[in-house]
Amino acid sequence: MIAKFFYSIAGTKQNENVDNMLLSMSTSKFINQKDKNVAQYCLDCAEHGNYPSEDYFTSIYEKPKPEDILKTPAELYMHYKSLMDFHMRQALMRQVTTGINETTSATDLLSYLSKTINDVEADSDDEFNFDDCVPELYGDANPLENGLKMGIRELDNSTNGFQRGTVASICAYTGHGKSTAINSALYNNIKEGKKVLLLSIEIPTDMAWKQFETRYMFSEKNLGVDVQNMTNHTLAPNIEKQVVFHEPDFKNDIVPNLLIIDESKITKKIMLDYRKISKLFRKAEKKLGGLDIVVVDHVGQLELQYPECGNSILRQLTSAAKTYRNEKGEKIMMMWAVQCNREGVKRATRREGQYDLQAIADLNEVERSSSYCVFLYTSDAMKITQETKVSLLKARFGVPIPTPFVTSFTPSVVMVGKEFEKASPSDINFDFTQMNDDDDDLPEGF
């Protein structure tokens, strides 16, 4: 039955609907491992434009091509539904038999069957429902006012804020400011009441909380603190006393709007299915009381954590960003921190900070999925002068800015693109020559 599906797509051009079916097969607990491996191989081949040839499937299934090959998308989908239902039913029958044999009371059997049914429902496909597919016209909403503003004047003027339902990639080499820029923007939006989920793939979550707390103490309480001392617990005694005194305000003003989690809250199965990613978002929304922005810091680590799945995961994250709606009926905005490759930063150095999109070609889905690609370039000399060069190389809903412009960059207080207004430099004893790696991290669980 499943061989008929594979023969029907043999040699055909990559198709998003077929990819979704293959992804469901490759992650289903009801299909045997051999067929799951074939589905995953088809997805890998699709990265190059076409599904495997007929010869590949013949070598796997050792049988001639079926005569009644499926020729239309509707036929293919109906067959897919039938085969998934068949395998699910077979697995359910086996589990019921196991439950009968392994339980000793009616109560235990009912509990076992209830868990089995819940697991099956969680892995089953929902039927099509087009009731929510309604036109969204100009007069129905004003999305520009809900865009995510970076706090960098030139970018915000060009984009009018990153729009809901889109992905914005903030790209830079290590230590050049991508995480600082993201957290600076998040802080500004959190202060406006937006709800944020921040997912760390690399850095311990406590460091990210220290970044937000540092920015809060500096911007709201006029305290001369910096991230390094906050993280290392080396604040001067008089400053430490004031920080502790003001922490209840931080818990009241910032913590309710921010959830920071790490990879312990995600699995490969979740990240390869946008519907499960959406469930993760829903869980975060319940904890936060809303959800407006989702950030994935260091998306390049996904390829290291799940080899050969990086681009597939990014596609699923993009689908979740496009389709998820919070309880207010609004879409969310997603941001990625993206590591530029070495050759890309070398070219940018020769061109005085001007990047090209090949600098993020390691995961080509980044450029394809992103509606906005922002690049930051911060030389060692610019770190001392507290500046960075910013460019906007891709802007589907605005005007690109290919020529870099200079803006302020102060990672010690997690601030990019904003001049100090509440504290004068003479009040602060920062050592700006000692820069931390900009690969910041993220906090707790649900």
Highest-confidence range of 61-75, 307-321, 334-348, by mean pLDDT? 334-348
Q: Residue 349's pLDDT is what? A: 97
Q: Where are the alpha helices (DSSP H) in 254-358?
A: 268-271, 274-288, 301-305, 310-323, 342-350
Q: Residue 120's pLDDT is what? A: 63
Instruction: Decide if pLDDT at 27 tops 70.
Output: yes
What is the total count of domains within the chain? 2
Are 155 and 266 members of one domain? yes
Instruction: Decide if pLDDT at 421 tops 70.
Output: no
Question: How do residues 34-44 score in pLDDT, each as one tens digit?
Answer: 888 999 999 99
Are 219 and 113 members of one domain? no
Question: How do residues 42-85 score in pLDDT, each as one tens digit?
Answer: 999 988 889 998 888 888 886 667 777 887 888 888 888 888 88
Are 39 and 151 members of one domain? no
Are 342 and 250 members of one domain? yes
Q: Residue 62's pLDDT is what? A: 67
Quote the tokens at residue 179.
């995480």
Specify if 373 maps to a domain: yes
Report the C-alpha gap between 287 and 82 in whole angstroms. 37
Instruction: Decide if pLDDT at 29 tops 60.
Output: yes
Specify if 21 maps to a domain: yes
Q: Residue 92's pLDDT is what? A: 83
Specify if 107 maps to a domain: yes
Q: Residue 125's pLDDT is what? A: 52
Render 410-442 in DSSP notation, one character per residue. EGGGTEES----SS-GGG----TTSPPPS----
Question: How do residues 106-143 score in pLDDT, each as one tens digit?
Answer: 888 888 887 777 666 555 555 555 666 678 776 766 55
Specify if 134 maps to a domain: no
Question: How do residues 143-183 score in pLDDT, each as one tens digit?
Answer: 556 689 999 999 999 998 999 999 999 999 999 999 999 99
Quote the tokens at residue 316.
């699923």
Kindly list the distances between the CA atom of residue 440 and the CA atoms of 65, 203, 296, 370, 402, in Å, as whole numbers in the listed order: 53, 6, 11, 21, 26
Q: Residue 129's pLDDT is what? A: 57
Quote the tokens at residue 34.
């051999």
Question: How do residues 260-310 score in pLDDT, each as one tens digit?
Answer: 999 888 888 899 998 899 999 999 999 999 999 999 999 998 888 888 888
Distance of CA 141 to the CA centre of its chain: 25
Instruction: Yes or no: say if 27 and 276 are a contact pair by the CB < 8 Å rule.
Output: no
Instruction: Decide if pLDDT at 99 tops 60.
Output: yes
Share of the chain above pLDDT 70, in %: 87
Q: For 133, phi and psi rounded to 5 degrees?
A: -90, 80
Quote the tokens at residue 292.
């407006």
The pLDDT of 351-367, averaged and rounded, is 93
CATH of the domain at 228: 3.40.50.300
Instruction: Decide if pLDDT at 424 tops 80.
Output: no
Instruction: Decide if pLDDT at 429 tops 70.
Output: no
User: In this structure, what DSSP letter does residue 13 have?
Assistant: B
Specify if 51 maps to a domain: yes
Quote the tokens at residue 381.
């000399």
Are 114 and 155 members of one domain? no
Looking at every residue in the chain, the average pLDDT score rounds to 86
Specify if 105 maps to a domain: yes
The pLDDT of 349-374, averaged and rounded, is 94
Are 90 and 31 members of one domain? yes
Instruction: Decide if pLDDT at 440 tops 50.
Output: no
Are 173 and 301 members of one domain? yes
∠166-397-316 over CA atoms, to 5°? 20
The pLDDT of 340-361, averaged and rounded, is 96
Are 338 and 283 members of one domain? yes
- More confident site: 136 or 188: 188
Report the C-alpha gap between 340 and 332 in whole angstroms. 25
Are 114 and 194 members of one domain? no
Are 91 and 147 members of one domain? no
Highest-confidence range of 67-76, 77-86, 205-214, 431-440, by mean pLDDT? 205-214
Q: Residue 56's pLDDT is what? A: 87
Terminal Cα distance for the chain, rounded: 41
Q: Residue 131's pLDDT is what? A: 63
Are 240 and 388 members of one domain? yes
Q: Which domain holds residue 159?
A: 143-427
Confidence of residue 317 (pLDDT cuts 50, 70, 90): very high
Q: Residue 128's pLDDT is what? A: 52
Specify if 132 maps to a domain: no
Specify if 35 maps to a domain: yes
Share of the chain above pLDDT 90, in %: 52
Q: Which pTM value belongs to this model?
A: 0.68
Q: Residue 143's pLDDT is what? A: 52
Q: Residue 132's pLDDT is what? A: 61
Are 156 and 248 members of one domain? yes
